[in-house]
Structure 1
Amino acid sequence: MTTLAESNTATAARDDAPKLMLAAICACARLHGIATITISYDGCGDEGGIDGVTLSGPALADGEPVPEIAMPDMPCSTWTVPYRGDAVAIESTFESALDDLGYELIAQNHAGWENGEGAFGEVIIDVEAGRATHDHNTRYVSYDSTAYEWEC
């Protein structure tokens, strides 16, 4: 069986990328006791990006705050999606793999989120469950219009 590290040419359909990327991220996160990953993003005016990644350990007893974990400097066998391409297996850093996953999950349902008034939100990954949820907020400009008519 060939691993990602052994194959430079492994590809998959873009629709499969989120599952593949998420599985790779969760595997790497488990190695460092990371239970939850929160990826925050914000954009408008044709610009935007991921503006923060928070890593948390497992929940503690007695309602104590969940400890934050520093970003580990480790390699991660994962997947990336080139512009308008299929998913490609790569060797990356954990931090870079998180950015790739965040951008891909956002783009899957909200391409152009940074344009116009923009959008903001979070991708939250439950590492143990291997599940990501995406909370997206689109900004828009709205107006009310009224018309009047009088006759004499």
Structure 2
Amino acid sequence: MPDAEPLADALSCWQKKQREQELIAREKLRDACNQLADLGVDKVVISYDGYGDSGTVESPIAYCGEDSFDLSDELKEVLTDTADANLPCGWEINDGAFGELTLDVQARKLTREHNWRVTEYQTEEEDIPL
């Protein structure tokens, strides 16, 4: 049986790096909100979908009221990268998950609507006389 201490140390190190990445992503999102507000953007929607050990974060869609418009490649990249950092661990594994991240520019708030896929099955057993 493996020694628990190195495993605990590795998990602690991984968790620390995750928290650091989340903080960096949030700082980048705050900066992006300033740029988006200057462009007149109300909200940005980013969809994602993953399963079978791979996943896709879609290109962000910016809205001013009901009208959508395209963002610069640089801003899209920042939003996509920060979106990925705000997804739960394992969202792309096995049955995976899908959802949307909505960035409310005015409120400086990111809302994640997340849906885990779960495979269910029912087992029936029957004795069949021969």
Aligned counterpart, 1:32: 39
1:146 to 103, 106, 124: 124
Q: 2:20 & 2:52 partners in 1: Cα distance?
A: 31
Q: How does 1:2-151 map to 2 (within 5 A)?
A: 13-57=20-64, 59=65, 66-73=66-73, 93-106=74-87, 110-148=88-126
Structure 2 spans left out of the alignment, 5+ residues: 1-18
Q: Which has the higher strand share?
A: 1
Q: 1:39 & 1:146 partners in 2: Cα distance?
A: 42
Structure with bigger RCO (C-alpha 8 Å, 6+ apart): 1
TM-score, normalised by the number of residues in structure 1? 0.65
Report the 3-state secondary structure (helix = DSSP H, G, I; strand = E; otherwise coil) of the residue aligned with 2:62. Answer: strand
| Identity within the alignment, % | 27
Pairwise CA distance, 1:31: 1.7
Report the 3-state secondary structure (helix = DSSP H, G, I; strand = E; otherwise coil) of the residue aligned with 2:24. Answer: helix
List, as ranges, runs of 4+ consecutive aligned residues in structure 1 with deviation greater than 4 Å.
none
Q: Which has the higher helix share?
A: 2
TM-score, normalised by the number of residues in structure 2? 0.75
Report the 3-state secondary structure (helix = DSSP H, G, I; strand = E; otherwise coil) of the residue aligned with 1:101. Answer: helix
User: How many residues end up aligned between the 2 structures?
Assistant: 111
Structure 1 spans left out of the alignment, 5+ residues: 1-11, 60-65, 74-92
